[in-house]
Amino acid sequence: MLRSVFLWLSEQRRIFEFVKRNGLARKAASRFVAGEVTETAIEAARVLNEKGITVSLDLLGESVSVPDEACAARDEVLRTIDEIDRGGIDGNVSVKLTQMGLDIDFGLCLENMRAIMSHARQHAMFVRIDMESSAHTERTLQLFAELHPEYGDLTGVVIQSYLRRSASDIEDLIAQGARIRLCKGAYSEPATVAFQQKSEIDASYVQLAERLLDHGNYPALATHDEEIIRRTMEYVDRKGIPLESFEYQMLYGVRRDLQQALREKGYNMRVYVPFGSNWYPYLMRRLAEKPGNVGFMLASVVKETFSRH
């Protein structure tokens, strides 16, 4: 029930306009969002790099409906690539296609992505294409199929374990030699499209993860679920899979203890570092994934606030 509420809230623009003016809400968001500008994201990335953790910078924003906004988002990603390179950051960028104009025109989105990919190639930098709701899955994979032959391992895509189609999609992508990031999925989807029970989603995740560990091209296992991490670690050990052949991924501000623990055990760890003014929908989806984060966030804000006095 609470998950559905947060997913609904993530789509309410009026509430976003009210919340983003609230100091307490902005403070709570800072746990999971590395500020609203590229410079703060770069500093957060630098701190993570110092701990041996690589990053992927993620400019927040999606569902753009005006071409000028899509082009402005493209330019901000181009600037982020420059700042990563200039700052000597060990990291890359991730991009949502609806932010680049996918809902406006496929050709516009492809043109914007080609501009990003060409610029990233000048810096030998990887670009991850994020996956959004199931309404965008097919077009996202189509656009990736347009870019991958031209840019190869400099681009990759995301697959969500809660979608019923994902096993088939992963087989197609493995055949293409694509770099895949596997996550559970964070959008509200009908039962006809997605598994609804956590046990089903987890079982799908483990099955797909093992397939990627056996046959994938440097797969990224994106999860904070300790049981899934334990099972994949056991699989890696049992099969003798080299640790340098894959990486775990987590989100900024989530399970920082586990991030560091995995890194200290020799696993590659990458943290997604979201930034930008459109932090509200992102924050609501993080809360939908784990409603218990509400109490954690409020407690952290109160503790940090009163510790100054």
Number of domains comprising the chain: 1
pLDDT bin (cut points 50, 70, 90) of residue 21 is low
Q: What is the pLDDT of residues 44-85, one digit of tens each?
A: 999 999 999 999 999 998 889 999 999 999 999 999 999 999
Q: Which residue has the tokens 């600037």?
A: 79
Give the model's pLDDT for residue 32.
Answer: 87
- Predicted TM-score of the model (pTM): 0.86
Average pLDDT of the residues of the chain: 88
Of the candidates 52, 108, 95, the residue with the CA atom closest to the CA atom of residue 260: 52
Which residue range is the domain that position 101 belongs to?
34-275
Q: Is 130 a catalytic residue?
A: yes
307 inside domain: no
Give the model's pLDDT for residue 285.
Answer: 64
User: Active site residue: 181, 270, 285, 286, which one?
Assistant: 181
Strand partners, 274: 58
Report the C-alpha gap between 252 and 237 in whole angstroms: 27
Does 292 have pLDDT greater than 60?
no
From 14-23, 106-115, 178-187, 192-201, the region with the lowest mean pLDDT: 14-23
Q: What is the mean pLDDT of residues 181-210?
A: 95
Report the C-alpha gap between 34 and 28 in whole angstroms: 11
25 inside domain: no
90 inside domain: yes
Report CA 75 to chain centroid distance, whole Å: 20
User: Active site residue: 58, 130, 169, 202, which one?
Assistant: 130
Q: Which residue has the tokens 């296609």?
A: 97
- In angstroms, the Cα distances linking 105 to 11, 64, 110, 128, 141 are 22, 11, 9, 20, 15
193 inside domain: yes
24 inside domain: no
Between residues 288 and 211, which one has the greater pLDDT?
211
Does 93 have pLDDT greater than 80?
yes
Report the C-alpha gap between 114 and 109 in whole angstroms: 9
* Torsion angle (degrees, nearest 10) of CA 7, 11, 14, 17: 80
pLDDT bin (cut points 50, 70, 90) of residue 28 is low
HEC secondary structure over the chain: CHHHHHHHHCCCHHHHHHHCCCHHHHHHHCCCCCCCCHHHHHHHHHHHHHCCCEEEEEECCCCCCCHHHHHHHHHHHHHHHHHHHHCCCCEEEEECHHHHCCCCCHHHHHHHHHHHHHHHHHCCCCEEECCCCHHHHHHHHHHHHHHHHHHHHHEEEEEECCECCHHHHHHHHHHHCCEEEEECCCCCCCCCCECCCHHHHHHHHHHHHHHHHHHCCCCEEECCCHHHHHHHHHHHHHHCCCHHHCEEEEECCCCHHHHHHHHHCCCCEEEEEEECCCHHHHHHHHHHHCCCHHHHHHHHHHHHHHCCC
Q: What is the pLDDT of residues 214-240, one digit of tens each?
A: 999 999 999 999 999 999 999 999 999
4 inside domain: no
Does 8 have pLDDT greater than 50?
no
Does 19 have pLDDT greater than 90?
no
Q: Which amino acid is at 305?
A: T
Token readout for 284 is 């609501």
Strand partners, 269: 248
Between residues 285 and 11, which one has the greater pLDDT?
285
**CATH number for 115:** 3.20.20.220
Token readout for 153 is 């391992």
Q: Is 181 a catalytic residue?
A: yes
From 6-10, 22-26, 137-141, the region with the lowest mean pLDDT: 6-10
282 inside domain: no
Q: What is the mean pLDDT of residues 85-89?
A: 98
- In angstroms, the Cα distances linking 295 to 12, 28, 213, 300 are 22, 11, 35, 8
Q: What is the pLDDT of residues 254-283, one digit of tens each?
A: 899 999 999 999 999 999 999 997 766 677
pLDDT bin (cut points 50, 70, 90) of residue 10 is very low
Q: Which amino acid is at 258?
A: L
236 inside domain: yes
CB 178 within 8 A of CB 217: yes
